[in-house]
Every structure is written in C-alpha cells, then in structure tokens.
C-alpha cells in the first residue's frame, strides 16, 4: 500500500504539503493541489480513514441521509460521495429514512454528538425543525432542494429537464401525453410538473390536471394505473419521473397491446442502468448522478475544513438520452 | 405518532414491560413479548432511535458493512436488517468497502470506539486480522461466510442451490452448460462451482475447468466474454451467479441470434427485481434476502443485549423460480 511519503515523493512536494491537501487547507496553491491529487490517483493511495480522528475533535466521517438504497439512482450518487470523501480522508456512513422526516431527525443527532462531522441529505424528506440547531455549514442538500433549509445544494434543473423531454415527445408527434410523477410534497416533482405544463403551453396544447398520474417510483403502481387509463387509446405517450416507472409503463402498454413507441411512447428519468438494459431501451433524462455526489461532498468538506459557510446553489447539466421507447 | 404508553395500553401491559421488550430483556415471557410486538406493529410505533444511548454506554447503532449498494440484492438484505433493528430501537449505519478488506478494517474500528455497538458483515471481503481484537458477539456475517472468522452467520446453502439450478437445466435437455461465477476468493462462489460440478457428475456429464467463466456480477463483462464463446453454437446454456450476469448473457445470446431458451438457456441467481421485469423473465435462485437480514440482526441484537455469545450458523431455504429464460 502506498504511503503519504510515496505521494509526496511522486508529487515532488513535502509530506506536510500532502497533508495540507488531504486536509483541504487553503494554504496550498491550486497547481500544487492538482499535482498531489494526481499522485494520489496514480499511486492508488488511500488515506487511512478515521486515522486523523484522534488528533482533532473530529470523526472524519460524513453521514449520508437517503430515502432508500433500493434505487440504482442513489447507488451512483453515493459512489460519487464515497470516492470524493475518500480522496480527502473521510469515510461515509449511510442511513435511510424511508422518507420519514422523524427518522432523518434522529440520525442528524449524530452531528451534535460529534459522531459524524457533517451530513449530505440526498433527496430524503426532512423537516425544518430538525435543522434548527445544526450549523448550516455541516449540511449539504443533494439531488433535491428543500428551500426552507438554509444550506448549500447540488442538483439539476428539474423543471427544465422535464420540459425538454416532454417537448421532445411533442416533436415526435405525440398529442396526448400523460405525466407520471411522484407523490406530493417533494419539490422536484412539482418542478417537473411545471416543466410538463410549460412544454404543453409552448406547443399550444392544453394542460389538464387529470393527465397527471401520481405514483411511487417503482414499476408496480404505475403499471396498474396506466393499464386502465390507456386501453381507451386516448393517450399516445407518458413522461415518467423515474426509469422504473417507465418500465412499468412499457409493461402496461405491452399488456394492452400498444406498439412502442409508435402507438405509445414512454420516457423515463435518471438514466439508471435498467434504462439502457431494458428492451425496448428507455429514452430518459440523464442526471449526472456521480457528479452530484462528488460536488456535494466537495462543498461539505471544504466548509468543514475551512470552518466557514457560504451558501452555494449548484445546478449541474442534464442530458436527454434518446433510445427505443420514444 | 404513537408513544410507548399507547403501545402499553394496546398490549395490556405496563410501560416498563414494553421497555423490557424494546431492550430485548429476557425477563419477559415469549407470550408477552409477542403481544407487545403485535401492538407495536398495529400502531406503527417507532421507538425513538438512539434515545437510549444516554442511559447506557451504548450507541444503539449497528454498522452494516457491504461491498457495494449498487446491487438490488443488498437493498433487500438491508431492508430486512433495518426493519428488524428499528423494531428493537436500533438505528443502522451502512458503509461500503468496494470489497477492500483494508477499508472494512477501518470501519470496524467504530466498534472499538463505541460509535456503534456491533456490525453485520454482509458479503464484504474481510481479513482475519481485522477481527482479532473484536469481541465475536459484536459481529454477525450475513449472505457469505468466511470460515476463518469465528462469528455467527446467516446464509443459504450456495452449493445446493447451484446444484439444483444446473440439475434443472440438465432436466430441460441441456447438454453443454457453461458456468459463470464471480472472481476467486469468495467462498460462496467456490461452493457454487462445486454445486455445478456435482450436478454434472450426478448426470454423467464431464466437468471441464474451461467451461467456468469468471467475471464480475454486472452485465457487461459476461456479455463480452460470452459473445465470443457462444457463436460456435457448442453451448446450449449458462448458469450465472447473479441476475445481472444473466441479463448480460441474454443480451449476448440475442446478439449472436440464438433463441432463448430453446437454443440457449440462461439462469440467474438472487431473484432481484430485474429478473422478474426483464424480457424474457429470468429463471433464477431466489435467496430469502429480507429474511437473511432479519435473522442476522436478531442474532446480533440478542447477543449484544444479553451480553452473551453462542456461535450460530443459520442456513435459510432458497427456492428455484422458473420463468422464461430457461
């Protein structure tokens, strides 16, 4: 295993400088920092996690609060968090809340107790009260932004992304497009609904509340709801808020006997692996999942290590992946 | 939110008794314990996680060590762990190691530091040295069993399961069956290989080392390896060690133009969601993922709370799910 000395040698700097980079100190020039990070990568150096804990009143652990791990979306976001945290000598601990704000509050207590240094809240539902006592520099929101929480955040422009994919469906000639989104109370879902509305409006189509299907992100609920709705042959597409919903929608269209995408087109959201593997492969919005995790972690570690807080709102670019389903 | 008082009232017992059940005390009769657990479930009562921490030298947290969360298999195991832990008033923290034993050792230090009370090692690679200093009652192995670790474990009989699915392929008339398993150094993979060997032997077929394909659990590597192998039309089936491998194998068979299952049959392992959703749906070995998590957690909490260790080796039943791919 390469040591910090090997890194220093390869980068042509002192051990103290490597240490400063690992501690994310701002006393290092960007050029030097890049040299050290390059050496770390080339050597496959892994800082001894948690080892620095004893020197300072720090755990060198970051808590990641997720609604669930049963979604490949979060696995990619977490990978971005993990790789970045490790680069700076932090370990990460994950906890899942099943979207219960009470459970999220319980876990946030680990910050007060100094069992973790800070937390990344990735999509998990949270209540304002839970954060009242917590220093905002110790929290970053990722994927989702609850505006009542005064923290930095990293996410995509959900409204614009949904606007674009609905606009794409319209350009493909679709005239009666359903919109399948998550249950109420999640800000990004309301953003996406607004994107859907604006795309219809821009193309001179009428928005109808009844064309909004609210359901869970999995494939089962949408399958049931859609099967009933689409046998009327009134609809020719559905824009879904997750790739698993899109799988359920494709199954429903097949069950009813509609040809995909000619008679019924389906789009997903996120670009998780199944959207590429499924047959037909699924046209979807690619979220930069890994990069969201990466950036959120960089912001958090930087404010923890510099002990300073500047509220950042980072919007990362998304991308439309056109495949067979639409 | 229901309180512990509501639970006591519904169960017809005192608050102290509910507390004893939550603390997993052995001073409660099984009948009373069941009454209280029923009331907890009916009311949807959620014990205040971590709240008990201050009364005793305990964190009421369990660490779960996983190789990755990028596999739906672990999501189900973790759900079983989580639900069970919560029932007994524990929170869980997940960490992933990318199968590096060094990283696993780093995280295990959280036990010594009393940041967590114990750990469930779910499949993650681990070294013997890492556990030398740790009280064996604070560790349970799940899914996988490293025999050099003197801990309790909960898993299926991997050899028997693989034997059965290969035997099933042979009964379906397959004569040249490939075996696609994970890379070396993982005990369950060697068990599965042995199950494959025994199934061939029982049916008077020759075992050839060259028919073993070693690859990662995802769909990409097997796709590449298989595409080259099967254009010879020498093989008529592959038994895979994961459902994602099976997806890759199906894609390879389709790419080569083989009809599934008649010309080429594919089986998976685990029974994760994609095996049911994929087209063709995938014949696979269903592991009782949720129950593995549940049982491992019960064993761990029981030995933590009673402060006693008896080494248990629990083998849970598996099940062959026959679907379209074989």
Instruction: Return the structure tokens found at B127.
Output: 């070294």
- Return the CA Rg of chain A: 22
Give me the residue label for tokens 């604070």. B138
Distance of residue B134 Cα from the nearest chain A Cα, in angstroms: 17
Coil vs helix vs strand at A6:
helix
B129-171 pLDDT, tens per residue? 877 778 889 999 999 999 888 899 999 999 999 999 999 999 9
In sequence order, what DSSP letters do the residues of B11-36 get, joined into one string?
Answer: HTS-HHHHHHHHTT-TTS-HHHHHHH
Distance of residue A260 Cα from the nearest chain B Cα, in angstroms: 14
Between CA A134 and CA A136 the distance in angstroms is: 6
How far CA A152 is from CA of A143, A147, A309, B312, in Å, comes to: 12, 10, 9, 47
Distance of residue A264 Cα from the nearest chain B Cα, in angstroms: 18
φ, ψ of residue A181 to 5 degrees: the values are -125, 170
Give the chain B residue nearest A277 (alpha carbons). B247
pLDDT at B53 over 50: no
Q: Is A266 on the interface with B (CB under 8 A)?
A: no
Give me the residue label for tokens 């989104």. A181
Between CA B246 and CA B265 the distance in angstroms is: 10
Between CA A91 and CA A115 the distance in angstroms is: 12
Give the chain A residue nearest B272 (alpha carbons). A70
Q: Which domain holds residue A195?
A: 158-286
Question: Which chain A residues are Cβ-neighbours of B273 within 8 angstroms?
Answer: 219
Between CA B81 and CA B91 the distance in angstroms is: 10
B293 shares a domain with B152: yes
Coil vs helix vs strand at A184:
coil
Cα maximum dimension of chain B: 72
Of A79-93, A155-169, B42-56, B278-292, the poorest mean pLDDT is in B42-56
Q: What's B258's domain CATH number?
A: 3.40.50.2300
Where residue A62 falls (left for φ over 0; alpha for ψ -120 to 50; beta otherwise) is beta
Mutate to test the interface with B, among A52, A277, A324 (most CBs of B within 10 A): A277
Q: Is A72 on the interface with B (CB under 8 A)?
A: yes
Neighbours of A35 (CB within 10 A): 20
Q: Which of B70, B92, B107 sits opposite A91 (nearest CB)?
A: B107
Between CA A256 and CA A227 the distance in angstroms is: 7
Q: What's B10's domain CATH number?
A: 1.10.260.40
pLDDT at B93 over 50: yes
Q: Is B159 on the interface with A (CB under 8 A)?
A: no
Q: Do residues B238 and B255 make contact, with C-beta atoms less than 8 angstroms apart?
A: no
Q: Model-level pTM?
A: 0.79
For position B48, what pLDDT does the model report? 53
Question: A46 vs B278: CB contact, 8 Å cut-off?
Answer: no
Q: For chain A, first and last CA: distance in Å?
A: 49
DSSP symbol at B122 = E
| ∠ CA A107-A108-A110, rounded to 5° | 80
Question: B69 vs A78: CB contact, 8 Å cut-off?
Answer: yes
Residue B326 lies inside a defined structural domain of this protein = no
Instruction: Return the structure tokens found at A189.
Output: 């879902």
Residue B262 lies inside a defined structural domain of this protein = yes
Q: β-strand B139-142 against B61-66: which pairing, if any? A: unpaired
Mutate to test the interface with B, among A69, A84, A274, A281 (most CBs of B within 10 A): A69
Count of domains observed in chain B: 3
Greater pLDDT, B69 or B196: B196
B262 shares a domain with B211: yes
B185 shares a domain with B132: no
pLDDT in single tens digits along all 326 residues of chain A: 677 788 889 999 987 788 777 766 667 888 888 888 888 888 877 665 444 443 456 889 999 999 998 888 999 999 999 999 999 989 999 999 988 898 999 899 899 888 899 999 999 888 888 777 788 899 999 999 998 888 999 999 999 999 999 999 999 999 999 999 998 889 999 999 999 999 999 999 999 999 999 998 889 999 999 999 998 889 999 999 999 999 999 999 999 999 999 999 999 999 998 999 898 999 999 999 999 999 999 999 999 998 888 899 999 999 999 999 99
Question: Which chain A residues are Cβ-neighbours of B115 within 8 angstroms?
Answer: 59, 115
Question: A94 vs B91: CB contact, 8 Å cut-off?
Answer: no
Label residue B49 by pLDDT band (50, 70, 90): very low
Between CA A162 and CA A153 the distance in angstroms is: 20
Between CA B153 and CA B312 the distance in angstroms is: 6
Question: Which chain A residues are Cβ-neighbours of B253 within 8 angstroms?
Answer: none
Residues in CB range of A9: below 8 A, 6 or more apart: none
Q: β-strand A61-66 against B283-286: which pairing, if any? A: unpaired
Handedness of CA A152, A269, B78, B35 (dihedral sign): positive
Between CA A97 and CA A78 the distance in angstroms is: 15
Cα maximum dimension of chain A: 72
Label residue B126 by pLDDT band (50, 70, 90): confident
HEC secondary structure over B169-227 = HHHCCCCCEEEEECCCCCHHHHHHHHHHHHHHHHCCCCCCHHHEEECCCCCHHHHHHHH
Residue A324 lies inside a defined structural domain of this protein = no
For position B183, what pLDDT does the model report? 86
A302 shares a domain with A261: no
A62 shares a domain with A4: no
Q: Is A60 on the interface with B (CB under 8 A)?
A: no
For position B129, what pLDDT does the model report? 81
- Return the CA Rg of chain B: 22
Between CA A52 and CA A171 the distance in angstroms is: 56
Mean pLDDT score of chain B: 90
Between CA A29 and CA A18 the distance in angstroms is: 12
Q: Do residues B136 and B116 make contact, with C-beta atoms less than 8 angstroms apart?
A: no
For position B147, what pLDDT does the model report? 87
For position B55, what pLDDT does the model report? 42
Quick one: average pLDDT of B168-189? 95
Question: A78 vs B59: CB contact, 8 Å cut-off?
Answer: no
Q: Do residues A180 and A168 make contact, with C-beta atoms less than 8 angstroms apart?
A: no
Quick one: average pLDDT of B267-282? 94
Q: Is A50 on the interface with B (CB under 8 A)?
A: yes
HEC secondary structure over B43-112 = HCCCCCCCHHHHCCCCCCEEEEEECCCCCHHHHHHHHHHHHHHHHCCCEEEEEECCCCHHHHHHHHHHHH
Residue A193 lies inside a defined structural domain of this protein = yes
Q: Which of B49, B70, B102 sits opposite A79 (nearest CB)?
A: B70
A169 shares a domain with A89: no
Distance of residue B169 Cα from the nearest chain A Cα, in angstroms: 25
B224-241 pLDDT, tens per residue? 999 999 988 899 999 999
- Which of A264, A64, A110, A85 is CA-nearest to residue A175? A264
Burial of B216 (0-12, 13-18, 19+ CB in 10 A): middle
| ∠ CA B159-B162-B165, rounded to 5° | 150
Q: Do residues B177 and B230 make contact, with C-beta atoms less than 8 angstroms apart?
A: no
For position B301, what pLDDT does the model report? 95
Question: B70 vs A68: CB contact, 8 Å cut-off?
Answer: no
For position A52, what pLDDT does the model report? 42
Give me the residue label for tokens 């201050």. B54
A260 shares a domain with A165: yes
Residues 87-146 of A with CB under 8 A from B: 91-96, 100, 102-103, 106-107, 109-110, 115
B296 shares a domain with B282: no
Mutate to test the interface with B, among A81, A94, A270, A275 (most CBs of B within 10 A): A94
Q: Which of A46, A69, A109 sits opposite B75 (nearest CB)?
A: A69
Question: A79 vs B91: CB contact, 8 Å cut-off?
Answer: no
For position B50, what pLDDT does the model report? 45
Distance of residue B199 Cα from the nearest chain A Cα, in angstroms: 31
Between CA A241 and CA A270 the distance in angstroms is: 8
Between CA A75 and CA A78 the distance in angstroms is: 5
Strands, E, within A24-80: which ranges?
A: 61-66
The share of chain B scoring above pLDDT 70, in percent, equals 95
Residue B39 lies inside a defined structural domain of this protein = yes
Residue B324 lies inside a defined structural domain of this protein = no
Give me the residue label for tokens 């394909």. B213
- Which of A195, A137, A274, A234 is CA-nearest to residue B72? A274
Residue B107 lies inside a defined structural domain of this protein = yes
B126 shares a domain with B236: no
B38 shares a domain with B119: no
B104 shares a domain with B33: no
Residue A195 lies inside a defined structural domain of this protein = yes
Greater pLDDT, A256 or B41: A256
B216 shares a domain with B129: no
Q: Do residues B78 and B293 make contact, with C-beta atoms less than 8 angstroms apart?
A: yes
């Amino acid at each position: 295993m390469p040591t910090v000395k090997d890194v220093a040698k390869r980068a042509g700097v002192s051990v103290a400088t490597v240490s400063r980079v690992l501690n994310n100190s701002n006393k290092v020039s960007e050029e030097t920092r890049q040299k050290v990070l390059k050496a770390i990568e080339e050597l496959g150096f892994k800082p001894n996690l948690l080892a620095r804990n004893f020197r300072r009143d720090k755990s060198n652990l970051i808590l990641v609060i997720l609604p669930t791990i049963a979604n490949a979306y979060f696995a990619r976001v977490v990978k971005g968090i993990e790789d970045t945290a490790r680069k700076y000598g932090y370990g990460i601990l994950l906890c899942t809340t099943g979207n219960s704000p009470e459970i999220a509050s319980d876990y946030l207590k680990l910050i007060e107790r100094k069992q973790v240094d800070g937390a990344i809240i990735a999509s998990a539902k949270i209540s304002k009260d839970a954060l009242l006592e917590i220093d905002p520099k110790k929290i970053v929101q990722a994927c989702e932004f609850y505006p009542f929480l005064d923290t930095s955040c990293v996410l995509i422009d959900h409204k614009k992304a949904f606007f674009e994919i609905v606009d794409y469906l319209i350009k493909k000639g679709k005239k009666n497009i359903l919109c399948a989104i998550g249950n109420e109370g999640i800000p990004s879902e309301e953003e996406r609904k607004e994107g859907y509305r604006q795309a219809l409006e821009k193309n001179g189509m009428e928005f109808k509340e009844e064309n909004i299907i609210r359901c869970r992100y999995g494939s089962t609920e949408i399958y049931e709801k859609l099967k009933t709705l689409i046998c009327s042959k009134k609809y020719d597409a559905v824009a879904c808020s997750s790739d698993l919903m899109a799988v359920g929608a494709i199954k429903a269209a097949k069950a009813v006997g509609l040809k995909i995408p000619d008679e019924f087109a389906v789009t997903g959201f996120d670009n998780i692996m199944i959207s590429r593997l499924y047959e037909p492969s699924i046209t979807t919005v690619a979220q930069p999942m890994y990069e969201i995790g990466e950036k959120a972690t960089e912001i958090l570690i930087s404010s923890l290590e510099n002990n300073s807080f500047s509220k950042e709102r980072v919007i990362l670019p998304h991308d439309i992946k056109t495949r067979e389903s639409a």
